[in-house]
Amino acid sequence: MSLPTSQDCILDHIAIAVKSISASQKIYEDLGMTFSGIIEEVVDQKVLTTFAQIDVNAHIELLEPTSNESAIHKFIESKGEGIHHLCFKVLNVKNKTLELSQKGYKFIYPEPRIGAGGCLVNFIHPKSTGGVLIEISQRPQI
């Protein structure tokens, strides 16, 4: 699966904050999606995460907090379960962070971090994007 070089921004996943991956998985399975079967712990984010493929590029990501300190726990406490962020795949997260910062966008992290699946990620603050938390992500170099 390769990224078309002409397009430096494609939908990678829609992330949904859930109390329980096993309970929520069923909703998407009933819709006809198949989960990878892999539940990964992202220690940095204090979450469990699992993905189901939607199409050739896009996935549904379910995020379950592993701690009351998790941002996902706090999100569920204040807003309830639901869409947490959109993630777009870009060719170079570091460059995109720099480029957008220069345009005045605020990021959650000053430098990209390692996220689920070993991807390099950063998050644009919802205050910069009309209330939508946007993740930008770059596949690990193989």
State the minimum distance, in angstroms, from the CB of residue 99 to Zn ion.
Answer: 20
Q: In the bound complex, what is the minimum distance in angstroms from residue 22's beta carbon to Zn ion?
A: 19
By C-beta, is 92 or 113 nearer to Zn ion?
Answer: 113
Burial of 103 (0-12, 13-18, 19+ CB in 10 A): exposed
Q: How far is CA 80 from the centre of its chain?
A: 18
| Smallest separation, CB 59 to Zn ion (Å) | 9
Least distance (Å) between residue 4 CB and Zn ion: 21
What are the CA-CA distances from residue 23 to residues 26, 88, 141 (Å)?
A: 6, 26, 34
Nearer of residues 15 and 100 to Zn ion, judged by Cβ: 15
Nearer to Zn ion, 1 or 6 (CB): 1
* Residues of the shown chain interacting with Zn ion in the complex, contacts defined by CB under 5 A: 15, 87, 135
The residue among 31 and 83 lying less far from Zn ion, judged by its C-beta, is 83
Gap between the Cα atoms of 129 and 64, Å rounded = 24
Q: In what order do the strands lie in the sheet with 10-17?
A: 40-42, 47-53, 59-65, 10-17, 82-89, 134-138, 120-124, 113-114
Q: How far is the CB of 1 from Zn ion (least distance, A)?
A: 17
- CB closer to Zn ion, 64 vs 135: 135
Shortest CA distance to 52 belongs to which of 39, 66, 70, 71?
Answer: 39
